A = this chain, B = another copy of it.
Amino acid sequence: MDDIIFGKNSVTEALISGKREINKILISKNIHTDNKIEKIKELAKERGIVFQFVAKEKFAEYAEFNHQGVIAQVSPIKYTDFDEFLELPHENSSIVILDGIEDSHNLGAIIRTCVCAGVSAIIIPSRRNVQVNSIVEKTSAGAINHIPVIKVNSLMNAVQKLKENNWWVIAADASAKDNYYNVNYTDMNFAIIMGAEHAGVSKSLLKASDFIVKIPMENNFNSLNVSNALSAIIFETVRQKLTKGQTRK
């Protein structure tokens, strides 16, 4: 299942970005054409990509996904090499590190949030974390084509390497003393570690981090969804960068 992209928006995004090699596009004979389908056909023609109209039976195996009658068969996602990424010039850049995210929808939402907030890369571990599958691609609404994803064997090694390269490492943890908005994010390269839905960031990574921050919670109700927690933190970093030097309103 890792080699298809489904849904009108995701297929369109993949065609526009050109970052994934598309082998073939399948369109169900049973769906009504609309602007989006016409756009997909047009883009496919421009790029010399085959599209086929197929009987709905062909889509039976994808019944559990909301494919909207459109599927692209693609080459597997190309992960970015960590060392190559580090060698690029970085200035006031940010990375998001995911420590054990299990839910595909959460990973998709996180990828969208990262692209919208201008994050430079996402690092996931090669084990004990959901990988970039079709559901992630779909939930990301095509955002996966706009951000490098780096897969590493050891998050701990990755964190050490980031620190050696003068990146600051910030972990989000519910029991932290400091609130996330009290860190100044405007003048450094930084990585934010978000933990698993239940377990949070692992102890060894918390220990290796330069800062540990929390989101202040009302109502003693401490169970923000991980993608929503990331959104609060990452857009605070955006706010700080965009308002730097301005008088506070």
Question: Assuming A118-B219, A232-B231, A248-B248, is B184 touching A225 (CB within 8 A)?
Answer: no
- Kindly identify, within residues 179 to 224 of chain A, every residue whose CB is under 8 Å from any CB belonging to chain B: 179, 181-182, 184, 215-219, 221-224
CB-based contact A236/B236 at 8 Å: yes
Interface residue? A112 (CB, 8 A): yes
Instruction: Tell yes or no: A151 within 8 A of B by CB.
Output: no
Segment of A43-51, A73-81, A237-245 engaged in the interface with chain B: A237-245
Residue A227 interfacial (CB < 8 Å): yes
Considering only residues 60-93 of chain A, those with a C-beta below 8 Å from chain B are none
CA A184 to CA B249, docked complex, whole Å = 7
In the bound complex, how far is the Cα of B182 from the Cα of A235, in angstroms?
13
The reply to whether the CB of A117 lies closer than 8 angstroms to some CB of chain B is yes
Chain B residues within an 8 Å CB radius of A221: 112, 115-116, 143, 146
Contact present for A239 and B236 (CB under 8 Å) = yes
A141 at interface, CB cutoff 8 A: yes
Q: CB-CB < 8 A to A224: which residues of B? A: 112-113, 116, 231
Chain B residues whose C-beta falls within 8 Å of the C-beta of A219 in the assembled complex? 115-116, 118, 146
- Write out the residue numbers on chain B whose beta carbons fall within 8 Å of the beta carbon of A249: 182, 184
Bound Cα distance from A182 to B45, whole angstroms: 45
A130 CB → nearest B CB, Å: 15
Which 3 residue pairs spanning A and B have beta carbons closest together? A118-B218, A232-B235, A228-B231
Given contacts A109-B225, A146-B221, A228-B230, 12 further A-B contacts (CB under 8 A): A105-B105, A109-B228, A112-B221, A112-B228, A116-B217, A116-B221, A116-B224, A215-B235, A227-B227, A228-B231, A229-B231, A232-B232
A sample of 22 inter-chain contacts (CB < 8 A) reads: A105-B105, A112-B221, A112-B223, A113-B225, A113-B228, A115-B221, A116-B217, A116-B218, A116-B219, A116-B222, A116-B223, A146-B221, A179-B239, A181-B243, A182-B249, A215-B235, A218-B238, A227-B228, A229-B231, A231-B231, A232-B235, A236-B239
